[in-house]
Amino acid sequence: MTFIDFIKTNLHYDSLKVLHPAPEALLFLLLTIASNFLAPIFNCSTQYILSKNIIVKHVICILVLFFIYELSYVVSANKTELTPPHYNFLATICVYVIFLLFTKIEDKYIISSVIILLLLYTIILYINYYKSLDYTEHKYKNTIDNLYVVCFFLIIVFLTIILYGFILFFIKQTKKHKYNWSTKKFFLGVNKCKN
């Protein structure tokens, strides 16, 4: 049995269910952050808290991811497939850690990662599409299995790019700021960049 055959026989929708909303969640979070120009809609005290308190920013990111996970399961699942909220919260924390690593890589790795996320999202849409066509017959089973294999490999490539980019960026930043290094600032970020 080859590795790809092993993946096809052992990788099922249930094993990837936790990852299903992950590409949508990360893409939605990136769009949310990119649209931060909407902050002036809030009153001044809320704007101040949102602009000055880095912990509040991270809590909001976690909440956005959690709500996306919950909404994704409610919208895509029937009532018998709902997962417990604590399960979705743990998945949210995992995606948030990936997001934190994602924010600590250079542009070329960010672009590659976003392209892979878009591909993953598209493949998940196709898996759901073929599954909806293949409800009673199994004429698309091979196509669905092949898409799962592609998903699996894209996830490995995505995580490898994120980890590799993170390690390089971490080393670069520790050398650049070796006299005033702060791991807390590195992971949580700062309100204003120096350059």
For residue range 124-156, what is the model confidence (pLDDT) as tens digits? 888 888 888 866 667 888 888 889 889 889 999
Tokens of 13: 């929708």
DSSP reduced 3-state for 195: coil
pLDDT by residue (tens digit) across 50-94? 778 888 888 888 888 887 777 766 555 554 566 777 877 888 888
User: What is the identity of the amino acid at 184?
Assistant: K
Assign residue 189 a region: left if phi > 0, alpha if psi is -120 to 50, beta otherwise?
left
| Amino acid sitting at position 2 | T
Against a cut of 0.75, is the pTM above it? no
Give the domain ranges of the chain. Answer: 3-187
DSSP 19: G
| Six-digit token string for 26 | 């990360």
Phi, psi values for residue 144, rounded to 5°: -65, -45
CB 143 within 8 A of CB 130: yes
**Alpha carbon distance 154, 15 (integer Å):** 15
